[in-house]
Structure 1
Amino acid sequence: MPIKGLTFILSVALLLLSGQTNIFSQNTGQLPAGTQSPDTAIVLEKITIEGFRLSRYQRLFPGNLAVVSGDELVPADGTNLAATLNTIPGVNMQSGTYATNRIVIRGMGSRTPYNTNRIRSYLNEIPLTTADGISTPEDIDAAGLGRIEVIRGPASALYGSGLGGSINLFTPEKLQQEGIFNLSYGSFNTLRTGFSGTVNTAKSGWWGSLSHLNSGGYRDNNEFKRTTFITTGRWRQPKWSMKSTLMLTGSEGEIPSSLGKTQFENEPRAAAANWAAIEGFKRIRKTLAGTTLTNSLSPRLSSQLTLHGKWSDNFEKRPFNNLGDQTLSAGIRGKLSYNRPATDWVLGIDWSTEQYKWRLDLDGILLNENRENRDLLGLFGIMNYRPAPRLSISLAAALNHIRYRLTDLFAGDGDQSGNRHFPVIISPRFGINYAANNHLTFYVSAGHGFSMPSPEETLLPAGTVNPDIRPEQGMQYEAGTRMNLLNKALEAEISFYWIALDDLLLTKRITEDIFTGINAGKTRHQGMELLLRSRILNSGNFPGKLKTTFSYTFSRNRFIDFTDDGNTYDGNELPGIPEHYAQLQLNWNPAEKLELSTHLQYTGNQLINDANTMAYEGYFLLNLKALAQFHLKKTGKLRVFAGVNNLTNTHYASMLLVNAPAFGNNEPRYYYPGLPRHFYAGVEVRF
């Protein structure tokens, strides 16, 4: 059945993308002044690619980059960022609940238990990633974003050298005054509402968004609520500009946790017994702020300085103890850019300091309390050289130094304080892009990346500093091609990558609440990524217009040298990564004011333990959505939409906990049940 599902998606995609009748693309150069590029435009227009500091056509930059914008940001009901990110080849976001997610890019981070820690994420140049490498871009409602850029692999010195890559989020920049109100309601008492608005003057602009999500949850002990406020202000002068961003978010979600195989198959709505018994939950409060000042020092020289800070206060009620933690950080990002007709230079510094405090208690009795200070200093340089009109060469390097300082605040078990200075890490990058003509380009690149151990991995089981833990490091090599075919109506991108990773960080679970880390060996990640976008059958011979987007990922990820607890796993596949992953989106406009969309997703087989003795079979999902748009004389536009997700009512696991341990006589709890067939409907008013 899973192979048939994949074959079906491939067949439909090839059939639809083979249409060649009267196809055209919109010419963004002919848009009236003061308007934005249409959401349906294939990415041909000239844009600023933040990850490479190039104000050029996207197809000319030397490396991979996925850009998601417009209506693509909020597919289906828009309650989960996974629906957006999973349309990008090479990216797989598993979502166990609204509060439990894991993002894997090109196989990086698949063995992380409950979060994302092998990528970097930013909001308007402000780091979302904490000093220990944890990223939670899903805290932000996708409806409050204007664009997402995803760089797969360590391809940008500008955004650090995360092994998985970076997810860069940008708030909308709209030229017109606008207000948007949206409201939707769906199965499991899921309510999503939001309001955003833009106000512009001659020299300034303001945008703000307030959103709220509330769900009763499909499972027991699964209620969730989140409120997010984001605002951005811009001020423009002839020689300088300033941009400030503030984000406030608060969420509280009950934790049903994962299930063993028997309960997953027979009682998927149940919560894990130990979490249900204590009504476990997690409460999060976060604040993020930053200001970027850009100066034009001369016609060729400009500078950019970003000051940023973060604060968070979290509490998690768990069966074995309660965890409270607070984070406070501040940092500076500075860039100096020099541009000539054939060369661009960027020099920069990235410094941040963060204090992370955590305490464990049980029944009011303090068990442990620590404070860890992390200082990170990064220097980077980028050169983009164009020796010929069709040839671009990029050279970059980043130098990073990280220092940890642990302070034991609990005197009951002795002083376990300690310091750790990691060696300087140098991460070079090289890329070439060649445009054979206006329809075909080729690129190759190579880059180095690293990931730092988490606070749990930097400590030994006894709570002392682990003197032997090292960052994991790796090199990525990739080659790809971009094509604009059929009178620029079909966009295709194919990329191949190879990643060699050393000093693999392994999180070992000693007991239910004690983790530690070791460097366990080497892995190799290989894969192919395909993206096809097209508008076809846009003629009188077919009713309306049809747009298709097809993405496919094949990956093979293996242990090369890996021994754990005396067991050798050389040659085994890494768990938690589907070997095949495909998505097909069809958007049909049978009439000007009506849109029908279909989203088909195939997730292939994946192993769920290092020994490769346990596997989870692939599955196929189908979502449908209908949207009608009406023009209101005085108000603006009214959109009414409704849809159904998982139309076939497939029983599947939306997230897997790899290498799940078994405690006592209980089964290992590998599975987070995915949502069954569910419905939603809503309205959006633009004025």
Structure 2
Amino acid sequence: MHHPFRLKAVASLFAASSTLLAPVARATDPMLPMADVVVVSGSRIAHTSFDLPAAVDVVDAARISDGQMRVNASEALASVPGLVAQNRQNYAQDLQISSRGFGARSAFGVRGVRLIGDGVPATMPDGQGQPSAFNLDRAERIEVLRGPFSAIYGNHSGGVIQLFTRDGQGRPTLETNLASGSDGARKTDISAQGSSGALGYVIDASRFATDGYRDHSAATRDQSFVKLTMTPTKDGTLTLVANTLRQDGTEDPLGVTWATYQRDPRAGEIDTTDTQTPKRTLAGRYNTRKDIRHQQIGIAYDQKFGDDRLHVMTYGGNRQVVQYQAFSKGFQAAPSQSGGVVDFDRNFYGVDINWVSIRALAAGTLTTTIGIDYGHSTDERTGYENFIGSQLGVQGALRRDEQDTLASADPYLQAEWQAGAWVLTGGMRHTRLTVQVGDRFLANGNDSGSANFSHTTPVLGVLYKVNPLLNVYASTARGFETPTLNELFYSGTGGGFNFNLRAAQSTHLEAGAKAIIAPNTRINGALFQVRTSDELVVDSAVGGRTSYKNASKTLRQGAELSIDSTLGAGISGRVAVTALRAVYDEGVGNVLAGSRLPGVPNANLFAELAWKNASDHIGAALETIASSKIYADDANSDIPAPGYTVLNARVNAKQVVGAWRFKQFARVNNLLDRGYIGSLIVGDTNKRYYEAAPGRNWMVGASIAYTF
């Protein structure tokens, strides 16, 4: 029996907003500019978010950079409702990001949420993405799209996160940023930007290093970025974006049991098979670590033909990873396993071509987008035992040798008709994904094979402008998630590739309101429901190897509310609240109907009160981040990560002296020094679920820029 999710408070707010605003709306109202946040997510063309029938938030450059070291996108994304972005304190596994519960069970990186940087996918064709590829130093904004309209981006689009970097403009500027913080964190960033004639350029290089909060979690990250913009023809723009990422010897602290977390949140899990006294941790004994090399380039050309536009984008890159995991010898001895060292060399490329046409139709305007996405990746993948004799954490005998190929082709069509107070939007995308495995290590049998997935994702939305200060909308879509390549690798605890996994399919419904009320306050609210069949859940997770299976039906019902207000005297505030009931709609195995989906809180909150002086030369803010408890396993039988509330504070200042610009910031996170679980490794068979967040920690930074 289903228990209805009570959202009366939000529904009442929508009704109250309509009643309040109807008599005071005026086309010349000075509050209207608050609505003019231009986005491209959801419609693929420049569009005010206020008039889009979708839940979309924009994180601006100030929120990304002010009072932050600009290393983890999770800090900037904390203010977005419906999104859970966690810094795992583990740079070997990247951030955990989920949107309305999609992606919460990812073992590493991001799945279930589509990542895009300057139009170039940071998500592979199978749905696995790496947010560490984003360059936050030169970011202009991040757009976060949630709900039904995410489905127009295809496979694994439970949400869409797009980062846009700034274009080079004006006179040449050189800038240096220096920052440091707790646990030996330090970062240096050097950049140059400007324009010369029709050429704009942005160049950036940075190094980040940390000793790590948790035991065995040190990391060094080197990034570089180049963006060139040109106007080779009238109404034509050519953009080139290239970036690199290098992480050598990034330590992996692994998860720990509840007992270890209670004993010492910073400690690693003890390896009970170790014969030494005192015993060593699993991470230390196996020296769990990861080396990453990532480089990519994208070239886009946009040409206007009157009101119409042609967009052609192509990209390519290479990603190399060597990872040392923690397995016992007995576990490695199973003939169908690949050993504790992962080594792959991936080449990927793709193209996106679309045409946007704008025409008058029936007293309104029809905007049509037709296009095709193609993505391809090839992995040369090997695996080795992680021991030689009694020495652990070294590359041993070959246990895996294969070529893995992914290819997806996605034609899509989207149309929007605006007339008077109505905006009608519809779209459709058809995805065909092919996975092919060529096994060259035949000592444990031939795991060669293939899998094919195809699905059509329709989207439909309607928005009604009640008055210039209030829009209401509704939308619906079908979505799907194929198994990622890593989710296909293992069958249970001992088998090879699992080509029998099916794609999860979901039906999304959403209704929302966007309102501006006096004085200078904007409110966005949404109610949503998602029903999913064949949800992909963890079957077994041991020592870094995770296998998956298809479960029964799941249900997500929730509400999102955000309020932004300028209160006067330089004071502003933001509140973002999410309530989410994510459960198994049908039982499966030992998981009862009504059990909560692991990794998903049923409520979280971000609140900020900020101040800046009239000249905008000094500012300060207090932030509150809160979350309810989160279960780590499907049956909800193990100890959940308790709920928490933390308080952060920051101050920032800037000065301009002639051609020089100076900035400084200081930040203290977790002011009250609360102990809490920052993230979970969902479904770990050894119950090493827990990854501790830092106690009270600090960072300071300064920058100096000169404009020639």
Confirm or deny a common fold (TM above 0.5): yes
1:530 equivalent to 2:537? Answer no
1:58-457 mapped onto 2 (5 Å cutoff)? 58-78=49-69, 79-99=71-91, 100=93, 101-156=95-150, 158-173=152-167, 175-177=169-171, 178-236=173-231, 237-252=233-248, 253-272=250-269, 273-296=281-304, 298-320=305-327, 321-341=340-360, 342-362=365-385, 363=387, 364-386=396-418, 388-422=419-453, 424-457=454-487
1:281 to 1:175, Cα distance in 2 relative to 1, 3 A: same
Q: Is the contact between residue 148 and residue 509 of structure 2 (CA under 8 Å) also seen in structure 1?
A: no
Deviation for aligned residue 1:417:
1.0
Aligned pair partner of 2:48 in 44, 57, 62: 57
1:117 to 1:508, Cα distance in 2 relative to 1, 3 A: same
1:464 to 1:642, Cα distance in 2 relative to 1, 3 A: closer
State the Cα deviation string for residues 545-596 of structure 1 (Å, max 9, x = none).
Answer: 1111111100000101241xx3242221111111110111111125632211
Question: What are structure 2's unaligned runs of at least 5 residues?
Answer: 1-9, 11-26, 270-280, 328-339, 388-395
State the Cα deviation string for residues 74-112 of structure 1 (Å, max 9, x = none).
Answer: 354333211111210000012222423211100112222
Instruction: Name the aligned partner's letter for residue 582 of structure 2.
Output: N
Q: Is the contact between residue 541 and residue 684 of structure 2 (CA under 8 Å) also seen in structure 1?
A: no
Instruction: Name the aligned partner's letter for residue 450 of structure 1.
Output: F
Aligned pair partner of 2:693 in 654, 674, 681: 674
Partner residue in 2 for 1:569: 592
Deviation for aligned residue 1:143:
2.2
Cα distance in 1 for partners of 2:179, 2:266 equals 23
Which range moved further: 461-470 or 549-558?
Answer: 461-470
**SS of alignment partner, residue 188 of structure 1:** helix
Cα distance in 2 for partners of 1:119, 1:536 equals 34
Cα distance in 2 for partners of 1:41, 1:654 equals 39
1:370 to 1:624, Cα distance in 2 relative to 1, 3 A: same
Q: Is the contact between residue 67 and residue 665 of structure 2 (CA under 8 Å) also seen in structure 1?
A: no
Partner residue in 2 for 1:18: none
**SS of alignment partner, residue 646 of structure 2:** strand
Cα distance in 2 for partners of 1:121, 1:208 equals 22
What number of residue pairs does the alignment pair up? 635
Deviation for aligned residue 1:141:
4.0
Instruction: Name the aligned partner's letter for residue 631 of structure 1.
Output: V
Deviation for aligned residue 1:397:
0.3
Which range moved further: 407-416 or 303-312?
Answer: 407-416
Instruction: Name the aligned partner's letter for residue 91 of structure 1.
Output: L
**SS of alignment partner, residue 487 of structure 2:** coil
Q: TM-score, normalised by structure 2?
A: 0.86
Q: Is the contact between residue 125 and residue 433 of structure 2 (CA under 8 Å) also seen in structure 1?
A: no
Q: Is the contact between residue 70 and residue 147 of structure 1 (CA under 8 Å) also seen in structure 2?
A: yes
1:452 to 1:72, Cα distance in 2 relative to 1, 3 A: same
Cα distance in 1 for partners of 2:307, 2:135 equals 37
**SS of alignment partner, residue 105 of structure 2:** coil
**SS of alignment partner, residue 73 of structure 1:** helix
Q: TM-score, normalised by structure 1?
A: 0.88
State the Cα deviation string for residues 636-672 of structure 1 (Å, max 9, x = none).
Answer: x21122121111011111111222222xxxxx21211
**SS of alignment partner, residue 52 of structure 1:** coil
Instruction: Name the aligned partner's letter for residue 516 of structure 1.
Output: S
State the Cα deviation string for residues 260-314 of structure 1 (Å, max 9, x = none).
Answer: 1122112122123111112211111101111111122x31332111111121000
Cα distance in 2 for partners of 1:490, 1:113 equals 39
Partner residue in 1 for 2:576: 551
Partner residue in 1 for 2:628: 604
Taking only aligned residues, the RMSD between alpha carbons, in angstroms, comes to 2.3
**SS of alignment partner, residue 213 of structure 2:** coil
1:257 to 1:46, Cα distance in 2 relative to 1, 3 A: closer
Q: Is the contact between residue 75 and residue 84 of structure 1 (CA under 8 Å) also seen in structure 2?
A: no
Q: Is the contact between residue 131 and residue 376 of structure 1 (CA under 8 Å) also seen in structure 2?
A: yes
Cα distance in 2 for partners of 1:28, 1:156 equals 33
Q: Is the contact between residue 598 and residue 623 of structure 1 (CA under 8 Å) also seen in structure 2?
A: yes
Q: Is the contact between residue 155 and residue 161 of structure 1 (CA under 8 Å) also seen in structure 2?
A: no
Aligned pair partner of 1:512 in 514, 528, 543: 543
State the Cα deviation string for residues 197-223 of structure 1 (Å, max 9, x = none).
Answer: 222133221112212211111222111
**SS of alignment partner, residue 586 of structure 2:** strand
Q: Is the contact between residue 153 and residue 162 of structure 1 (CA under 8 Å) also seen in structure 2?
A: no
State the Cα deviation string for residues 444-472 of structure 1 (Å, max 9, x = none).
Answer: 11111111102243245365543421111
Which range moved further: 298-307 or 45-54?
Answer: 45-54
1:255 to 1:96, Cα distance in 2 relative to 1, 3 A: same
1:650 to 1:48, Cα distance in 2 relative to 1, 3 A: closer
Cα distance in 2 for partners of 1:404, 1:491 equals 46
Cα distance in 1 for partners of 2:545, 2:678 equals 26
1:339 to 1:548, Cα distance in 2 relative to 1, 3 A: same
**SS of alignment partner, residue 183 of structure 2:** coil
**SS of alignment partner, residue 76 of structure 2:** helix
Q: Is the contact between residue 491 and residue 534 of structure 1 (CA under 8 Å) also seen in structure 2?
A: yes
Cα distance in 1 for partners of 2:351, 2:634 equals 40
Partner residue in 1 for 2:24: none
Q: Is the contact between residue 90 and residue 252 of structure 2 (CA under 8 Å) also seen in structure 1?
A: no
Partner residue in 1 for 2:6: none
State the Cα deviation string for residues 412-452 of structure 1 (Å, max 9, x = none).
Answer: 22322112222x31100001111112211111111111111
Q: Is the contact between residue 249 and residue 287 of structure 1 (CA under 8 Å) also seen in structure 2?
A: yes
1:7-22 mapped onto 2 (5 Å cutoff)? none
Q: Is the contact between residue 157 and residue 381 of structure 1 (CA under 8 Å) also seen in structure 2?
A: no
Deviation for aligned residue 1:678:
1.3
Cα distance in 2 for partners of 1:572, 1:166 equals 27
What percent identity do the matched residue pairs reach? 22
Partner residue in 2 for 1:3: none
Q: Is the contact between residue 154 and residue 162 of structure 1 (CA under 8 Å) also seen in structure 2?
A: no
1:28 to 1:86, Cα distance in 2 relative to 1, 3 A: farther
1:515 to 1:630, Cα distance in 2 relative to 1, 3 A: closer
Instruction: Name the aligned partner's letter for residue 573 of structure 1.
Output: R
Q: Is the contact between residue 525 and residue 561 of structure 2 (CA under 8 Å) also seen in structure 1?
A: yes
Q: Is the contact between residue 313 and residue 351 of structure 2 (CA under 8 Å) also seen in structure 1?
A: yes
Cα distance in 2 for partners of 1:620, 1:156 equals 30
**SS of alignment partner, residue 285 of structure 2:** helix
